[in-house]
Amino acid sequence: MEITTFTSLFNTNGVRQRCTPEMLAKALTAPMANRGAKKNIPLWSPTTFVGTRAKSNAVDIWALVYDMDDGLTGFETWRMFGDNAVIAHTSYSHKPYHPKYRIVLPLLKPIPATDWGRASTAANELWAHIVGRGIPDQSAIHDNARAYYRYSIPDPIDDAAHPMHPTKYHHTAVHLDAPLLDLKYDHIKEPAPRHVPMARPTTLRGTRTKTKQMAMLDPELRAKVAAQCGASIQGNTARRIVCPACNKRDVYFSIDPNTVGAVVWPRCNRQDKCKWFGTLEDLI
């Protein structure tokens, strides 16, 4: 199987790692030094990427991760998945009175990132069937580019002999003497193609822009702009273009805007921070 590792929360350029379920279990259950803060803990993702960690760059998902923090089920819930290979560990903010933990199920075969919408729905069905209580973090389970903190225990500030010392209530579990999970999702229908509305041509006072906007929909012109911007062409997508707002190489757009799901207007992939989008003219 393959995973991606990241040195910190702020690092989106991960390193792809090949491993066995046994190697993954060893890595995920070894406590990581946190240097006094959660933000310093390295991360891992069950997803492989082409480029930086982003939904649009996701390729395959190699493990199903249930991120539990609703406090309705306890850490020992991992045992209910014993028919398959399973790895589990408590989260950094886990407390005995409010359990928080992750259950990791290595997959028999990787699931394409483009299928993860259906596969994550099947994962929710599996949880409801096996556990029947509690709700996995939905933003995490539906995210095909999710990264998770490695197992770490908060730096204790109290006496190690105290019964509430973190090392006494943080746990890990490994059960690999079972088949890998074969997550079935064929019964879930494909979502309807997302409609991308075209911008309506407008006429400004003294300037006719309709011709200019129609030209922007020409794949040949768009390819030329991509080349001029030094873009990396991957299929129908031009990537790694310098953003006019944040100056990062995270802008992308589709060469042929007439395909299903095409990105007509250039936009920055750093949606959580930058949120820039604009026209081809803005790039040149």
Give per-residue pLDDT as tens, 208-236: 455 566 667 889 899 999 999 999 988 89
Angle at 174 between CA 103 and CA 170, to 5 degrees: 70
Q: What's the pLDDT at 159?
A: 58
Do residues 53 and 12 make contact, with C-beta atoms less than 8 angstroms apart?
yes
Q: What's the pLDDT at 160?
A: 60
Reduce the DSSP state of residue 240 to 3 states and report it. Answer: strand
In the block, residue with structure tokens 């993702």: 45
Residue 199's alpha-carbon distances to 142, 207, 226, 247, 256, in angstroms, are 29, 17, 20, 26, 15
- The C-alpha atoms of residue 56 and residue 72 are separated, in whole angstroms, by 33
Question: What tens digit of pLDDT does each residue of 52-99 get?
Answer: 999 999 999 999 999 999 999 999 999 999 999 999 999 999 998 899
Asked which of 6-15, 209-218, 247-256 is least confident by mean pLDDT, the reply is: 209-218
Give the mean pLDDT of 193-221: 61
- The C-alpha atoms of residue 137 and residue 51 are separated, in whole angstroms, by 26
Q: What's the pLDDT at 162?
A: 60
Beta-bridge partner residues of 238: 233, 253
| Closest among 100, 173, 111 to 137, alpha carbons compared | 100
Question: What tens digit of pLDDT does each residue of 126-176 get?
Answer: 999 999 999 999 999 999 999 999 999 987 655 565 666 777 889 999 999
Residue 231's alpha-carbon distances to 124, 157, 246, 253, 274, in angstroms, are 38, 50, 17, 10, 19
Q: What's the pLDDT at 231?
A: 92
pTM of the complete model: 0.67
| Closest among 143, 170, 140, 121 to 70, alpha carbons compared | 140
Percentage of residues of the chain with pLDDT beyond 90? 63
Helix then strand count (H, E) for the chain reads: 7, 15
Strands 101-112 and 47-49: unpaired
- The C-alpha atoms of residue 74 and residue 169 are separated, in whole angstroms, by 12
Query: Can you list the alpha helix ranges (DSSP code H) found in the chain?
Result: 21-28, 116-130, 138-141, 166-169, 210-216, 219-228, 280-283
**In sequence order, what are the residues at sequence separation of 6 or more whose Cβ sits closer than 8 angstroms to the Cβ of residue 275?**
268
Residue-averaged pLDDT of the chain: 88
